[in-house]
Structure 1
């Protein structure tokens, strides 16, 4: 049995039984913070913003989807598109200078900011439901398990609405998520890999559900299906070992949890995996740090013009 495989199995078992070494405690975000004025509120010579409002199938959650479209003509194959989870928080990190930099690239992307229909930077309750997979156990105090329904909403309502507004390249679609959003990115890749071509998981909550996503990944690895996708797994070096939020009371992660996952997923045929660490950045700081590299990578991707 290869040593990397043994380490991965050990990681999964440790998370299931709750054995790991605690080091850092995750800082909790300010859940009352609102977005205020953003780049979407001022006319831009580079990008045009429009809104789309939707309701979940069960009628419990309302969404505000912001679509940022480059003002220049689309490439012959259509614009590449990046779908950002926690769209309000991402919107707060955008500025006119960044949009101007994107607009002069050969492949300026369309930005789709998946948000809730309120002015909260982070809607803790609704994202806890939409971004987490269905599990047989209850995790924390918030409702969870709506990831598959949320992905269905993206596939059947959001994507068609974006395509009706903007000329997009259906073969150059990226899904980006941080924390619970990163968990959603990985779950989508493992269960519906053809939904997107590029997946960017930033500080994914691997601890969630006692390592639910690691167990899901191992089941896929055991089947070894051919995939055609690109996963970028990005981690802040300051929190390679950290506890789950105290309110969750879950297991801690070993230092190489994400790196081990990346190595194992890279064994799947057709799946390109890039693992990157940002030295000195903690969990919260990674949300901001991972936006510009994601956008620049798409804008400069030569494959988008093929």
Structure 2
């Protein structure tokens, strides 16, 4: 009897080892490659219901999809008003929630050679992938409201979202930066911020329907909270050109817990935003 139980236990473990991964209802997954051959795992939370009166579904692009897609997908499907949207998460062919080497390259500015380990500096190539490869694929697959494109990123991803706003403001109408690493490389974002601000004052940018939301936990480093608050205060001057900026502190949350705490609020804010 003991031998039989041991054999059955071994058989059960073997079957579990070869079990298929859990599939989330209402989703699909693609594999895509950048122009340079880097592979990406694209996870899509499908829209539900009729196409909105605007003629297309709002679309939200999410960075670090391996880590954050399940939580945002669940939050989207839990409320009827959020289901009529598309969530496109960009991840990597990895079994880990955060692929530190890949995201270090995709989400960061160039580094001096002596500090370039792991390799960094691919943020413009990554933006090219999103703009020239991923977005056309999403547009071909779904009816998309081109006036309701948003980007959500956490930590390095939040830093990348701010960079995207400053350097390609036409790409996303709304950016949510959760705990953005504004301190990275001696606050390198200050330079593109100055260029962005100068273009706005010169009338060279259309910011009428643009927004940036900065979210941070109150248990994060005081300097990180201060940096995010200071950025939002500086950007308030651009409200005269239409840019809406917001700064929110989440009580009781730290750097790694806050993305999961604010999932439903982020989706609700982005999907409820109206252009007209």
- Coarse TM-score class (shorter-chain normalised): 0.7 to 0.9
Q: Report the alpha carbon displacement of residue 254 of structure 1 after superposing the two structures with TM.
A: 6.3
1:101 match: 78
Residue 110 of structure 1 pairs with residue 117 of structure 2:
no
The TM-score, its normalising length taken from structure 2, stands at 0.82
Gaps of 5+ in 1: 1-35, 242-252
Q: Tell whether the 8 Å contact from 1:176 to 1:201 is kept in structure 2 after alignment.
A: yes
Distance 1:254 1:53, change over 3 A: closer
1:220–1:86 Cα change, 3 Å: same
Give distance in 1, aligned partners of 2:198 and 2:189. 14
- 1:295 corresponds to which of 249, 267, 273: 267
**Corresponding position: 1:264 with 2:264:** no
Equivalenced residues, count: 249
Change (3 A) 1:254 1:83: closer
Question: Any idea what the Cα deviations from partners look like across 1:177-207, whole Å, max 9, x if unmatched?
Answer: 0000001101000000010000101101111
Map residues 267-282 of structure 1 onto 2, 5 A cutoff. 267-268=237-238, 269-282=241-254
CA shift for structure 1 position 68: 1.3
1:211 corresponds to 2:183: no
Is residue 283 from structure 1 mapped to residue 255 from structure 2 by the alignment?
yes
Which of 67, 81, 89 aligns to 2:44? It is: 67
TM-score after normalising by structure 1: 0.75
Give me the CA root mean square deviation. 2.2
- State which drifts further: 210-219 or 124-133: 210-219
Task: Determine the structure 2 residue equivalent to 1:156.
Answer: 132
Change (3 A) 1:69 1:107: closer
Q: Mapping of 1:221-260 within 5 angstroms?
A: 221-223=197-199, 224-225=201-202, 226-228=205-207, 229-241=210-222, 253=223, 255-260=225-230
Q: Deviations over 1:115-135 (max 9, x none)?
A: 112222100000000011235
Seen in structure 2, the aligned counterparts of structure 1 residues 183 and 139 have a Cα distance that, compared at 3 Å, is farther
| 1:130 and 2:106 correspond | yes
Corresponding residue for 1:168?
144
Distance 1:300 1:220, change over 3 A: closer
Match of 2:264, SS state, is helix
Q: Distance in 2 between matches of 1:145 and 1:151?
A: 12
| Mapped partners of 2:43, 2:224: distance in 1 | 37
Specify the structure having the higher radius of gyration (Cα): 2
Question: Gaps spanning 5+ residues in structure 2: where?
Answer: 1-19
Look up the match of 2:16: none
Q: Which of 137, 140, 146 is the aligned partner of 2:122?
A: 146
Task: Detail structure 1 runs of 4+ shifted over 6 Å in the superposition.
Answer: none
Q: Shift of residue 86 of structure 1? A: 0.4
Higher percent of residues as helix: 2
Structure-2 separation of matches of 1:142 and 1:203? 22
Q: Is the 8 A contact 1:85 1:113 kept in 2?
A: yes
